[in-house]
């Protein structure tokens, strides 16, 4: 140990439980087959991740990779710049264990600036929270894909906990872990790296589940619909249930905002609470005498131009914008923009 101050290598060794000597690094652990299985799954969802990032930042983002390998803290820290943005999103059900994303500070700053429509943004509380929200959306899509692949419907993660810290204090798994290295292009042609970390046990459990053959579905009794106790799908009179037509599978972005650690408390306690969602075409103000004078055929001019996005509000608070669509004979709204977190926080 040097006099007066610890060297970076000594700090790293202390944090990882080592003594700073020249002892050999631990065996990376895990199998090549586990790494290949996890890599194949993550690569299959790469296009969805690119689309999600592009939607949240309004940049044309492309994602390549990842390359997955098992490593340890000492070897991995050599890959990182001095300061990083670490986002902890541990799985707490399904495949419980350590899971996180790590971005170079400059990459995180550019993404946060694009999300908040702000140039030269500083990595303050709002910027860090924006990165946490972005990663939460990515993890939500990843959990959906993992559920579809494995049939495990209990998979869940904690709300994202983001921080901008020196690399030496990042809370990496204490044992060997799986590292997925992505190449990110933010639209300028310059490749940047970021990493997704899985605890060793988590990576092995996911790889094992992905390679298991799914169990065949059990057909419902009496030709009924699954989950309806064998109720027949046909009938006579007013109770006839016709088979839906023109049904297509769709995927929607995750609109659930994830709170920061200071805000969220135990958010799991309120996940089943209903909230009012409203789509607002436009607004206007009228005098009472004008309102009393309304009758059939009265035209009310709104404050929006034809073709402008409509507002999507939850409990009267703006969270997104969208465009009106028609689904069969019903109106619907396709989400085209998520309102930046900073704008939502500043809204009175």
The pTM assigned to this predicted structure is: 0.57
What is the Cα–Cα distance from 31 to 70, expressed in whole angstroms? 8
pLDDT of residue 86: 94
Q: Encoding tokens for residue 6?
A: 């610890």
What topology is assigned to 274-294+301-348 in CATH? Surface presentation of antigens (SPOA) (2.30.330)
Annotation: CATH topology of 8-211: Chemotaxis protein chec (3.40.1550)
C-alpha to C-alpha distance for 150 and 102, rounded to whole angstroms = 26
Q: Which two tokens stand for residue 117?
A: 């429509």
Number of residues that this document lists for the chain: 348
**Residue 224 has which token pair?**
């009924």
Which candidate, 121, 126, 88, 117, places its Cα nearest to that of 106?
121
Contacts of 30 (CB under 8 A, 6+ apart): 70, 176, 178, 200, 203, 204
User: What's the token pair of residue 320?
Assistant: 């997104």
In terms of DSSP bridges, do strands 317-327 and 310-314 run parallel, antiparallel, or are they unpaired?
antiparallel
User: What does pLDDT average to in each consecutive run of 10 residues of the chain (348 residues)?
Assistant: 51 50 48 91 83 82 88 92 94 93 92 85 88 89 90 90 92 92 84 91 93 60 47 45 54 52 57 86 90 88 87 89 86 88 67
How many Å apart are CA 344 and CA 348, to the nearest integer? 9
pLDDT the model gives residue 198: 96
Give the start-to-end residue ranges of the domains of the chain: 8-211, 274-294+301-348
């Amino acid at each position: 140990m040097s006099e007066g101050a610890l060297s970076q290598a000594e700090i790293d060794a202390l944090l990882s439980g080592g003594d700073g000597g020249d002892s050999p690094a631990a065996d990376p652990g895990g199998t090549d087959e586990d790494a290949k299985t996890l890599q194949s799954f993550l690569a299959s969802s790469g296009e969805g991740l690119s689309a999600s990032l592009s939607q949240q930042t309004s940049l044309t983002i492309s994602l390549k990779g990842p390359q997955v390998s098992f490593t340890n803290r000492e070897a991995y820290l050599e890959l990182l710049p001095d300061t990083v943005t670490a986002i902890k999103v541990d799985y707490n059900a399904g495949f419980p264990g350590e899971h996180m994303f790590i971005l170079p500070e400059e990459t995180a700053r550019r993404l946060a600036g694009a999300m908040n429509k702000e140039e030269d943004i500083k990595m303050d509380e709002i910027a860090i929270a924006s990165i946490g929200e972005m990663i939460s959306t990515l993890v939500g899509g990843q959990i959906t894909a993992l559920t579809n692949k494995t049939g495990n419907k209990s998979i869940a993660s904690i709300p994202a906990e983001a921080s901008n810290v020196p690399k030496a204090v990042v809370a990496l798994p204490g044992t060997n872990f799986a590292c997925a290295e992505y190449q990110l292009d933010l639209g300028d042609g310059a490749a940047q790296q970021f990493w997704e970390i899985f605890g060793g046990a988590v990576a092995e459990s996911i790889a094992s589940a992905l390679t298991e053959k799914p169990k065949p579905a059990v057909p419902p009794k009496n030709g009924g619909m699954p989950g309806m106790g064998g109720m027949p799908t046909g009938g006579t009179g007013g109770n006839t249930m016709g088979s839906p037509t023109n049904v297509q599978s769709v995927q929607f972005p995750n609109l659930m905002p994830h709170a920061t650690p200071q805000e969220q408390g135990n958010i799991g306690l309120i996940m089943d609470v209903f909230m009012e969602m409203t789509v607002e075409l436009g607004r206007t103000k009228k005098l009472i005498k004008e309102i009393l004078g309304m009758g059939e055929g009265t035209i009310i001019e709104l404050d929006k131009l034809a073709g402008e996005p409509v507002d999507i509000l939850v409990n009267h608070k703006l969270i997104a914008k969208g465009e009106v669509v028609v689904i069969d004979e019903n109106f619907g709204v396709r989400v085209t923009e998520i309102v930046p977190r900073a704008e939502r926080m500043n809204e009175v």
